[in-house]
């Protein structure tokens, strides 16, 4: 225990000695400048004493004359000359002592200043030590935090690697599924094409079968008519059919093996009645072919009845009703030829039918099944069918009063932007962003003609024998429905957003993104009028402009929610209606009676103007 206590005592002493040595080094370092200055001062003092001694020795030598040598003034007063030399040396020595004192004062002042600076440095050093201690504590904390963050980063790196592996697996699975989906889509397209072809073949087969049945029935009717005997009573002018008996020996064999009794004589009246019966039978056959849409029917019989004609359209001046029609923006609106029926289509994939009565909009029903945003709506001239184009690459057909879609016209490869009925029954035309315009046989639900174009199609309209399409490449193209090629191209200054043909099919109204409306003469195929106005801006690539039913005005909606009316006769802006829409107007419609105007916008509003 004593050894342990002795060793601990020696260690304590060594610790104290080390601490004292460290303190001496620190304090000697602090006063090093002062010691050096003091040393220099002592050196100068010693040099001054040395020089003083030398000067005194020289003065003594000067005062003591050498033997045999006379100094000046020695003859007069030797004591006086020595005293003057000593005084001179004393004055010189006093001056040097005064200079040394001045230097010593300056050095003492410097020592005082340096001591103050040293104290300030010591305080600053203490502060720096305190700050260094706090920073060392912070550094240790930051190092601990860095280690924790590094561990977290390593854990996150391991997690990221695991997620990356999972992502790679999922991406590979997605690629496989995408390829499978592509193959399934291609197979679906092939199946759809084969289904359409099978439907067409089945329809042709059914037509042929019905035709053969009709012909067989006609033959039977003819044979029966040939077997009948007609007797005529001249006095009463009545024709009475009667069955006559003829001898069994007079039989005539027909082409199909049937036998007919041969009559020795047939009167003229009997022959005429038989021909009349044959005419009736042939008329029934022609009527049957007409119902099937064959070429034997005349063009006038296959067309719709004429649409109602408006003699005077009323220019609206006020808002009659406002409704929030859809869950998102409204893209299309149109009136039915039937009085008081309106249809709107929106980005919510719904078509709503409205009853317009007494200046109010009353909801009738909602048509579902479009499967995509509605871009265009059209009624057939009879008002019994509704055709809508949508973003799901197809067009839908509904019967008026039926909520479910009757037919889906598929075949486009991109969004269908326009769908219109033709004046010929069971025919329609669609335009798409896949750079095609298609004609459809609605009876078969199949495409009967595809027109390939070099640009996106934004809108189409149909005349009796012409199809007009407006395109993204700033051109309006005319297609002859009886031929395969484009017959006319009219360039405009910007991409076409809509087309509208007048009821007399004499003029075409186009709207384009350069904020202009153009009236095109369809006989001369040239631009007749151009309408523009300050404040009018075309709000989108599908903004619709229309003629009034009597072709007196041109109407379009603007980006700021206003409606602009131009007078076609004067060519000037007639009026501007604003204040109700708070968003861009996408489409407008004018009822066939000319009494109401409807506008729809991106803010889900439907506004009825009167």
What is the per-residue pLDDT across 188-203, written as a single tens digit (0 to 9) for each? 888 887 887 787 788 7
Q: Are residues 339 and 387 in the same domain?
A: yes
Q: Are residues 293 and 424 in the same domain?
A: no
Q: Are residues 200 and 233 in the same domain?
A: no
69 part of a folded domain: no
Where is pLDDT greater, at 21 or 363? 363
Q: Are residues 555 and 502 in the same domain?
A: yes
24 part of a folded domain: no
Cβ-based neighbours of 508, under 8 Å, separated by 6 or more: 461, 468, 476, 499, 500, 501, 502, 519, 520, 522
Q: Are residues 245 and 198 in the same domain?
A: no
Q: Are residues 403 and 479 in the same domain?
A: yes
Nearest-angstrom CA–CA distance, 341 and 356:
6
Confidence at residue 309, expressed as pLDDT on a 0 to 100 scale: 64
As beta bridge partners, residue 590 has 597
Q: How confident is the model at residue 546 (pLDDT cuts 50, 70, 90)?
A: very high
Q: How confident is the model at residue 360 (pLDDT cuts 50, 70, 90)?
A: very high
Structural domains of the chain, count: 3
Where is pLDDT greater, at 551 or 275? 551
Q: Which spans in 31-77 are helix H?
A: 32-63
DSSP labels, 509-577: EEEETTTEEEEEETTTTEEEEEE--TT----STT--EEE-TTSSEEEEE-TTS-EEEEETTT-SEEEEE
Confidence at residue 78, expressed as pLDDT on a 0 to 100 scale: 53
Element of type H or E holding 8: helix 2-30
Cβ-based neighbours of 207, under 8 Å, separated by 6 or more: 292
Check if the beta carbon of residue 320 is closer than 8 Å to that of residue 609: yes
First to last CA, the chain: 118
> Inter-axis angle of helices 78-227 and 268-291, to 10 degrees?
160
Where is pLDDT greater, at 436 or 65? 436
Burial 388-409 (b: 16+ CB within 10 A, else e): bbbbbbbbbbbebeeeebebeb
Res. 528: pLDDT tops 80: yes
Cβ-based neighbours of 359, under 8 Å, separated by 6 or more: 320, 321, 596, 608, 610
Confidence at residue 231, expressed as pLDDT on a 0 to 100 scale: 53
Q: Are residues 134 and 165 in the same domain?
A: yes
As beta bridge partners, residue 475 has 491
**Which tokens hold the place of 318?**
């006020």
218 part of a folded domain: no
pTM of the complete model: 0.53
Confidence at residue 63, expressed as pLDDT on a 0 to 100 scale: 58
pLDDT digits (tens, 9 = 90+) for 292-350: 444 333 344 466 655 566 667 889 999 999 999 898 899 999 999 888 899 999 998 89
Domain that holds residue 257: 228-302
Q: Are residues 277 and 424 in the same domain?
A: no
Say which residue the tokens 């369809």 belong to: 522
Res. 25: pLDDT tops 90: no
Which phi and psi angles does 13 have, rounded to 5°?
A: -65, -45
Q: Are residues 446 and 542 in the same domain?
A: yes
Say which residue the tokens 């729809």 belong to: 600
Q: How confident is the model at residue 163 (pLDDT cuts 50, 70, 90)?
A: very high
107 part of a folded domain: yes
Confidence at residue 564, expressed as pLDDT on a 0 to 100 scale: 96
Confidence at residue 79, expressed as pLDDT on a 0 to 100 scale: 56
Q: Mean pLDDT for the chain?
A: 80
Q: Are residues 422 and 395 in the same domain?
A: yes
Which phi and psi angles does 202 have, rounded to 5°?
A: -65, -40
Q: Are residues 277 and 391 in the same domain?
A: no
Res. 32: pLDDT tops 90: no
Confidence at residue 298, expressed as pLDDT on a 0 to 100 scale: 39
Q: How confident is the model at residue 147 (pLDDT cuts 50, 70, 90)?
A: very high
**CATH code where residue 472 lies:** 2.130.10.10
Confidence at residue 433, expressed as pLDDT on a 0 to 100 scale: 93
527 part of a folded domain: yes
pLDDT digits (tens, 9 = 90+) for 445-504: 889 999 999 999 999 999 888 999 999 999 999 998 777 688 899 999 999 999 999 988
Among candidates 506, 597, 593, 582, which has minimal Cα distance to 546?
Answer: 597
The burial of 550, by beta-carbon neighbours within 10 Å (0-12 exposed, 13-18 middle, 19 or more buried), is given as middle
Among candidates 444, 415, 300, which has minimal Cα distance to 347?
Answer: 415
Classify residue 525 as left (phi > 0), alpha (psi -120 to 50) or beta. Answer: left
> Inter-axis angle of helices 78-227 and 2-30, to 10 degrees?
100
Check if the beta carbon of residue 533 is closer than 8 Å to that of residue 564: yes
Domain boundary among the residues 156, 178, 209 is at 209
Cβ-based neighbours of 237, under 8 Å, separated by 6 or more: none
23 part of a folded domain: no
Confidence at residue 187, expressed as pLDDT on a 0 to 100 scale: 87
Cβ-based neighbours of 156, under 8 Å, separated by 6 or more: none
Confidence at residue 240, expressed as pLDDT on a 0 to 100 scale: 40
Angle CA(472)–CA(476)–CA(482) in degrees, nearest 5? 125
Q: How confident is the model at residue 156 (pLDDT cuts 50, 70, 90)?
A: very high
482 part of a folded domain: yes
Among candidates 348, 360, 364, which has minimal Cα distance to 403?
Answer: 364
Q: How do strand 605-609 and strand 319-324 relate by DSSP bridges?
A: antiparallel
Q: Which spans in 327-474 are helix H?
A: none
Share of the chain above pLDDT 90, in %: 38
Confidence at residue 361, expressed as pLDDT on a 0 to 100 scale: 93
Least confident of 107-121, 215-229, 244-258, 325-339: 244-258
373 part of a folded domain: yes
Average pLDDT of the residues in 30-40 = 77
3-class SS string, 213-228? HHHHHHHHHHHHHHHC
Nearest-angstrom CA–CA distance, 512 and 303:
32
Say which residue the tokens 């592996």 belong to: 165
Q: Are residues 198 and 57 in the same domain?
A: yes
* Greatest CA separation for the chain: 218
pLDDT digits (tens, 9 = 90+) for 411-460: 999 999 999 999 888 899 999 999 999 999 998 888 999 999 999 999 99
Res. 242: pLDDT tops 90: no
- Could you tell me how many residues make up the chain? 610
Angle CA(439)–CA(440)–CA(445) in degrees, nearest 5? 165
pLDDT digits (tens, 9 = 90+) for 72-118: 444 445 556 667 777 887 788 788 888 888 887 788 888 888 888 88
């Amino acid at each position: 225990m004593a050894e342990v206590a002795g060793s601990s005592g020696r260690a304590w002493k060594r610790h104290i000695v080390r601490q004292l040595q460290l303190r001496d080094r620190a304090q000697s370092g602090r006063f090093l400048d002062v010691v050096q200055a003091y040393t220099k001062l002592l050196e100068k003092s010693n040099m001054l004493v040395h020089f003083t001694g030398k000067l005194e020795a020289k003065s003594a030598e000067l005062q003591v004359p050498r033997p045999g040598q006379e100094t000046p003034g020695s003859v007069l007063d030797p004591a006086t000359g020595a005293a003057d030399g000593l005084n001179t040396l004393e004055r010189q020595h006093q001056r040097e002592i005064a200079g040394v004192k001045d230097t010593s004062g300056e050095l003492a002042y410097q020592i005082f200043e340096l001591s103050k600076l040293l104290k300030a440095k010591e305080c600053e050093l203490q502060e720096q030590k305190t700050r260094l201690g706090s920073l060392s504590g912070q550094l240790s904390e930051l190092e601990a935090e860095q280690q924790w963050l590094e561990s977290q980063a390593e854990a996150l790196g391991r997690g990221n690697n695991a997620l990356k592996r999972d992502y790679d697996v999922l991406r590979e699975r997605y690629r496989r599924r995408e390829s499978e989906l592509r193959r399934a889509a291609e197979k679906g397209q092939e199946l759809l094409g084969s289904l359409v072809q099978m439907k067409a073949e089945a329809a042709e087969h059914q037509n042929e079968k019905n035709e053969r049945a009709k012909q067989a029935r006609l033959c039977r009717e003819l044979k029966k008519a040939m077997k009948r005997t007609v007797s005529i009573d001249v006095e009463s002018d009545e024709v009475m059919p009667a069955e006559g008996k003829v001898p069994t020996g007079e039989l005539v064999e027909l082409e199909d093996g049937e036998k007919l009794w041969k009559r020795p004589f047939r009167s003229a009246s009997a022959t005429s009645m038989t021909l009349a019966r044959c005419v009736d039978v042939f008329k029934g056959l022609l009527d049957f072919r007409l119902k099937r849409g064959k070429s034997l029917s005349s063009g006038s019989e296959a067309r719709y009845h004429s649409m109602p004609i408006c003699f005077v359209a009323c220019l609206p001046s006020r808002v009659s009703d406002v409704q929030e029609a859809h869950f998102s923006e409204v893209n299309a609106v149109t009136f039915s030829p039937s009085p008081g029926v309106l249809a709107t289509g929106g980005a919510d994939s719904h078509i709503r039918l409205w009853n317009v009565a007494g200046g109010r909009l009353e909801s009738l029903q909602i048509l579902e099944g479009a499967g995509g945003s509605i871009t265009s709506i059209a009624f057939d001239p009879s008002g019994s069918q509704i055709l809508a184009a949508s973003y799901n690459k197809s067009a839908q057909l509904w019967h008026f009063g039926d909520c479910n879609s009757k037919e889906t016209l598929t075949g486009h490869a991109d969004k269908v932007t326009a769908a219109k009925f033709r004046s010929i029954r069971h025919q329609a035309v669609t335009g798409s962003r896949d750079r095609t315009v298609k004609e459809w046989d609605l009876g078969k639900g199949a495409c009967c003609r595809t027109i390939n174009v070099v640009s996106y199609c934004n809108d189409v309209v149909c005349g009796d024998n012409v199809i007009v399409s407006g395109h993204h490449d700033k051109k309006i193209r005319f297609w002859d429905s009886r031929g395969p090629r484009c017959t006319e191209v009219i360039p405009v200054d910007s991409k076409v957003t809509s087309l509208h043909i007048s009821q007399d099919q004499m003029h075409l109204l186009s709207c384009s993104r350069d904020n202009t409306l153009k009236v095109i003469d369809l006989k001369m195929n040239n631009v007749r009028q151009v309408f523009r106005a300050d404040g009018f801006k075309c709000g989108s690539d599908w903004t619709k402009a229309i003629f009034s039913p009597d072709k007196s005005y041109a109407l379009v909606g603007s980006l700021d929610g206003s409606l602009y009316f131009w007078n076609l006769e004067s060519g000037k802006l007639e009026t501007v209606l604003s204040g109700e829409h708070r968003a861009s107007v996408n489409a407008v419609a004018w009822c066939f009676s000319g009494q109401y105007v409807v506008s729809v916008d991106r803010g889900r509003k439907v506004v009825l103007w009167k």
